[in-house]
Amino acid sequence: MPRKNRRAPRTPGYILPRDGSTFIGTQEMEGPSWTHGEMYCVRQIGAAAAVKFYVCPRCNQNISPGVAHVVAWPRDSGRGVDDRRHWHRHCWERR
Ligand SMILES: [Zn+2]
């Protein structure tokens, strides 16, 4: 009896490139309320892993290197991790 594998490649967007440790800790979860319940893949970026400037799509402010933040992308967009955005933690979580 084959074991049920929840990472089965049914959703193309969930196949992630094997580029090492950056994908450890990616969680599949329902987005905050403003996403209207869309399923997201979410990764917590620690301060040490934040080495570039990003622009948060919610507040249009920079996320500076060294600032712990959240990377998230819609699980079912079909573009997968290519659709990822970097968000301030408080912007991701606020309503
Ligand atoms: Zn923000």
Residue 37: left if φ>0, alpha if ψ -120 to 50, beta else—which one? left
Å from CA of 43 to ligand 1 middle: 16
Cα(63) to centroid(ligand 1), Å = 7
Calculate Rg over the CA atoms of the chain. 14
Residue 13 has pLDDT above 90, yes or no: no
Report if pTM > 0.85: no
CA of 24 to the centre of ligand 1 (A): 23
Task: Write out pLDDT tens, residues 21-74.
Answer: 444 578 899 999 999 989 999 999 999 999 999 999 999 999 999 999 999 999
d(CA 81, CA 3): 26
**Residues 80-93: pLDDT tens digits?**
888 999 999 999 99
CA 61 to ligand 1 center in whole angstroms = 6
Rounded CA-CA distance 42/27 in Å is: 5
Residue 87 burial by CB count (10 A; 0-12/13-18/19+): exposed, middle or buried?
buried
Ligand 1 mean position to 45 CA, how many Å? Answer: 14
